[in-house]
Structure 1
């Protein structure tokens, strides 16, 4: 059995850095919630309705705020963190989290541009995919927080993230099968597949993040 160093926080020497990281993680959570709302608005109002575009604007603004936080955290890490190895690990984690935020924004941008012809018939299956993706990201966030505050919980949240990533893959496959079994034109099927695959990638990114955290956690084992 692995024993972990008992510590209140890996960044306890810099409460400001720790607080900024918590704020950044909140931005990731908010981004996923806005992303889900964007799809609700898409089905309810259409891709270029004012309501949908306002949600997209909020999503973009949240990403911009997160980007500013990331730059602040990186500066604080160089200024305050005494362990170079820890600093490098945290900066890599921030890059993984940034990928999720960027993917949210990119998908939203393409919804506005391409206006995919995805009807309400497919909303239940898409909602199932979004639910599994959201759970994978929620547990990823818990895994990241545990890395800083409670290393013994990292494995639990790692496994839950991986489980829901697998569930997201299954939901992705089910939705694509329904799309390609339909009589819509092939070019529309291919376009919609792009969006479905990109949504599923969010869960993949969450899994990549917790896999990285698992490696970092082992490095801190006694």
Structure 2
């Protein structure tokens, strides 16, 4: 099954790339919040995160409109719609991480900041691999397959850091409510990579259909 048929399809592919770029910016902006020290304000960064997530939504809707108007054959259109929606959920989860910190005025203890950064880095790398998988789905299937495996590898690495981080959180001499907040933050960061893996699963299905 070929994914390229004409002008509309190429327009959608360009929108996929624009969408990936914007989702990547949402993830990167949220990462800035994780790196802030306890006495730094994240209000402006959160506003940027929300703005870029909204822009990602707009690009996704434009791509979906084009697909509903006839881009791609009917048997592949549903897969492509599902893929861009799955990628968009990665941005949604990154925005959730920003909101968890901002709305709860959550301060990451200095003793744990490096671990939160390392966990978030795994989510960043999982998304980068996902972006490579999506881009090469239209150009180089083998590279797309390899990138899908990279998404899974980074997600698994992040899971290990998440478990270690949560365990360490509950050894701290702080109030239980704050421990629960910090645990939630670790889980939400891990969910970014989980969402990336969900999207990469969709790519695997598309590749299997193309090979059938």
TM over 0.5: yes
Equivalent of residue 217 in structure 1, options 204, 207, 210? 207
Write the deviation string for residues 14-42 of structure 1: whole angstroms up to 9, x where unpaired: 3222211110011111111111112123x
After superposition, residues 40-51 of structure 1 pair within 5 angstroms as 40-41=35-36, 43=37, 45-46=39-40, 49=41
Number of residues paired by the alignment? 210
Aligned residue number for residue 138 of structure 1: 128
Q: Alpha-carbon deviation of 1:123?
A: 0.8
Q: Tell me the distance in 1 between the aligned counterparts of 2:38 and 2:176.
A: 24
Check if 1:165 corresponds to 2:158.
Answer: no
Cα pair 2:38 2:107 within 8 Å, conserved: no
Aligned partners of 1:24 and 1:66 also within 8 Å:
yes
Deviation at residue 57 of structure 1 after TM alignment: 0.8
Match of 1:68 among 41, 54, 58: 58
- Match of residue 203 from structure 1: 193
Contact 2:101–2:107 (8 Å) recurs in 1: no
State the distance in 2 between where 1:178 and 1:188 align: 13
| 8 A contact 1:133–1:203 mirrored in 2 | yes
Contact between 1:11 and 1:81, CA under 8 Å: does it hold in 2? no
Matched, 1:92 2:82: yes
Partner SS, residue 149 of structure 1: coil
- Give the Cα–Cα distance (whole angstroms) in 1 for the partners of residues 125 and 143 of structure 2: 17
3-state DSSP class of the match of 2:106? coil
Q: Is the 8 A contact 1:137 1:161 kept in 2?
A: yes
1:11 to 4, 7, 15: 4
Pairing of 1:108-119 with structure 2 (within 5 A): 108-119=98-109
Structure 2: 5+ residue runs without aligned partners?
none
Per the normalisation by structure 1, the TM-score is 0.89
Please report the RMSD computed on the Cα atoms of aligned residues, expressed in angstroms.
Answer: 1.6
The alpha-carbon deviation at position 107 of structure 1 amounts to 2.1
Preserved contact between residue 12 and residue 67 of structure 2 (Cα < 8 Å): yes
Q: If the length of structure 2 is used for normalisation, what is the TM-score?
A: 0.93
